[in-house]
Structure 1
């Protein structure tokens, strides 16, 4: 993923929510959780609220690490979402802002979902979200 922002730094609140998710699901790799959180937010039909996000934690990653083996697909999905929202999918600043907003919203959604109690319950939700994102791209 050629991220529009490097490094991607999370807020303290998001970092805390990721730690909570790691404990609930036993998924130790927080970048995997971030990928799933991004998909969770992109699957939502509404846009994330345009709020200012404090990148005040020490938790950061590069776009390549965030995207991992599905980085190109995630970037394409983010660009598609920008296009559908009437935002410029080729404007670097717009992509950077939308990436931060979707990533933080997705982390918040996953951490606050009472149905997520285990790795299996998280996987079921993520699978549904991936199908939704893929369907919107076709």
Structure 2
């Protein structure tokens, strides 16, 4: 259902900061962690009009690291739990909201290394 993953310029800048602080060089790794961090929340992400206007773009397969079905199942399960339509446009928007909320959460952590980041994610 999701073909490409694009992020906003604000999220791109947050990811650049995270890359510098942690040494993690791949957008897709940070984005996967961000998505899962957002899914962990008990509430759905608040609606906002996220404009994916940055130069950061990756295929769904790159985002998922080859685990497309797993990540789609996680998204669909969470969408059903929160009564979100499974229509393509709505599901894509819901994914984008989760991704951007998660990037904000990661950026707000005080992690200066991969170990710190992983410890904060495991809380």
Task: Place the TM-score, normalised by the shorter chain, in its bin.
Answer: over 0.9
Across the two proteins, how many residue pairs are aligned to each other?
123
- Measured in 1, the distance between the counterparts of 2:49 and 2:3 equals 18
Shift of 1:7: 2.1
Q: Which runs of no fewer than 5 residues in structure 1 stay unpaired?
A: 130-138
| TM-superposition CA deviations, 1:61-102 (whole Å, max 9, x none) | 1111101133322111110100000113x3211210111000
Q: How does 1:18-57 map to 2 (within 5 A)?
A: 18-57=15-54
Shift of 1:46: 1.1
Q: How does 1:44-123 map to 2 (within 5 A)?
A: 44-88=41-85, 90-114=86-110, 116-123=111-118
Instruction: State the SS of the aligned residue for 2:66.
Output: helix
Instruction: State the SS of the aligned residue for 1:61.
Output: strand
Instruction: State the SS of the aligned residue for 1:20.
Output: helix
Q: CA RMSD for the aligned pairs? A: 1.4
Instruction: State the SS of the aligned residue for 2:31.
Output: helix
Structure 1 residues 55 and 46: CA distance shift in structure 2, 3 A = same
- Measured in 1, the distance between the counterparts of 2:94 and 2:120 equals 22
Q: Which runs of no fewer than 5 residues in structure 2 stay unpaired?
A: none
